[in-house]
Structure 1
Amino acid sequence: MAEISKTDKPVLVLLHGWGVNQGVWHTLLADIQPTVQVLPLDIPGFGLAQQLPEPYNFDTVLADLARQIPDNSLLCGWSLGGLLAIALAKRYPAKVRQLALVAATPCFLQHAGWPGMKAAVMQQFAQSLQRDLSLTIGRFLAIQAMGSATAKSDAAALKQAIAAFPQASATALSAGLEFLSSEDLREDFAGLAQPVVGCFGALDSLVPAAVVCELQKLLPAAELTVLAKASHAPFISHRSEFLGWLNHWLTSVAPRCD
């Protein structure tokens, strides 16, 4: 578990998405407001979290993360990390004081009346993952940046950020796709007791902006923001706007005193 100081500052826990690691957050850390302690975690099997829980499934991954999250934390999850964050907030409520979602949804797959990814697209990823792990991750990074005005440089920035950490295990990558395609946490999301905020991209091809309206129906009190020009990785493509959103949320939770 990463080290945090024993202070009165609340802890902001950051959870990354599929195919990457905590490195995606590192260029933001210096600009996150200082009234919180920041704890970027690696999902088991990604980055520095090389030890896999056995068996490797949704429940054991959640339990592994819950052991590392201090009580009463502010939990922010991107994409797959957001799916896990919703489950953590529901199953381990003492761990999560407030929840922030970044381009994340409780149900990633498209259903009748529910915007999401088509099952065929997810199946293609799973099949290509078995053929060429590196190429599949590269394609996924490109898709995450798709739609933004700086898509090529955004994808390069993502790739560079994750390269500083060990490559994800094939087991974790395959299981992560399974989580994204099989987990439906809409009921859990609707029943959350914690305050929820969210940041989404209007040009996101993986988590379509249309899902924001559906999320609002499930949880009317949620404060959800859509960045007009952003895609699936707003903290890379629209760093300034994303930091503005994030720090606004953190200020409401842990106000600055200066």
Structure 2
Amino acid sequence: MQSEIVLLHGWGMNKQVWQLSVEALQQAQALPVRAVNLPGFGGAAFPEHISTLDEVADDIAAQLGNGSVLVGWSLGGLVALNLAHRYPEKVAKLVLVASNPFFVEQPDWPGIKPKVLAGFKQALADDSAKTIERFLAIQAMGSEHARDDIKQLRQLLSLLPAPHPKALSLGLDALQGCDYRAYLGALRQPVFGFFGRLDTLIPSDVIERMATLNPQFKAFTFPRASHAPFISHKDEFVTHLKSIL
């Protein structure tokens, strides 16, 4: 039984990025809908004991009832995968948005080049605000509405406090180090993926690899979207999400 839809944001972001989707989903279907902040983002507390993505997932799990439809964007998708694997009773269905189980390029896995992520780590130490701004631009790169997408994301982010520095650092460490391919392969819940064909962070080749890991995996690609299809193509995104509930 599906109890509610819970949306998890990506790195450097906060729950406000989902606001337009939340409003549309509330009108389009009957399940309760809410977005939550990951620890240290959007003014959420960052408890001192949190140092791994397991502990981030534990924090979110404490906020969930059983049978949630979990929608995770980018880094939020890693958190959602962790939750679905370690707290299966809490996740009835999993939707990965511009996300995958392992973000780093390997000889047998398409992904982000390690030096790019290492560069972000260094830039974060130098100037976190500028690094987040740069990340906003990368997320919209390729979108037919790139400038508008960035403006909208920036406006939504500004509604809540800036991220905690330790949360930003932990998030980048997770993108560099978390390999949840085995988690994806072992999932028993229905799992879906929504992707943007123009996404520069998630290579299109990874979609087929994910389906190989989990034959249940069903993917949809927005042909003109980049890394944030729920911003650039909100109506289509909501329509497709509603169709799999």
Q: TM-score range by the shorter chain?
A: over 0.9
Residue correspondences, number: 243
- The aligned residue for residue 201 of structure 1 is 196
- Is 1:21 the counterpart of 2:20? The answer is no
- The aligned residue for residue 148 of structure 1 is 143
Greater mean deviation of Cα atoms: 29-38 or 222-231: 29-38
Aligned alpha-carbon RMSD (Å): 1.2
Distance (Å, rounded) in 2 between the aligned partners of 1:187 and 1:54? 26
Q: 1:230 aligns with which of 225, 229, 232?
A: 225
Aligned residue for 2:244, secondary structure, equals helix
CA contact (8 A) 2:77 2:96 kept: yes
Distance (Å, rounded) in 2 between the aligned partners of 1:132 and 1:124? 12
CA contact (8 A) 2:3 2:32 kept: yes
Q: 2:46 aligns with which of 31, 48, 51?
A: 51
Gaps of at least 5 residues in structure 1 are 1-7, 251-258
- Is 1:134 the counterpart of 2:129? The answer is yes
1:10 is displaced (CA, Å) by 2.1
1:34 is displaced (CA, Å) by 3.1
Aligned residue for 2:39, secondary structure, equals coil
CA contact (8 A) 2:2 2:67 kept: no
Aligned residue for 2:103, secondary structure, equals coil
Q: 1:121 aligns with which of 109, 116, 123?
A: 116
Gaps of at least 5 residues in structure 2 are none
CA contact (8 A) 2:95 2:192 kept: yes
1:239 is displaced (CA, Å) by 1.4
- The aligned residue for residue 68 of structure 2 is 73
- Is 1:242 the counterpart of 2:242? The answer is no
- The aligned residue for residue 220 of structure 1 is 215
Greater mean deviation of Cα atoms: 238-247 or 86-95: 238-247
CA contact (8 A) 1:203 1:232 kept: yes
1:53 is displaced (CA, Å) by 4.6
CA contact (8 A) 1:9 1:37 kept: no
- So what's the TM-score if we normalise by structure 1? 0.91
Aligned residue for 1:13, secondary structure, equals strand
Aligned residue for 2:195, secondary structure, equals strand
CA contact (8 A) 2:54 2:82 kept: no
**Deviant stretches of 4+, over 4 Å:** none
1:9 is displaced (CA, Å) by 7.1
Aligned residue for 2:174, secondary structure, equals helix
1:145 is displaced (CA, Å) by 0.5
- Is 1:169 the counterpart of 2:164? The answer is yes
- So what's the TM-score if we normalise by structure 2? 0.96
CA contact (8 A) 2:84 2:94 kept: yes
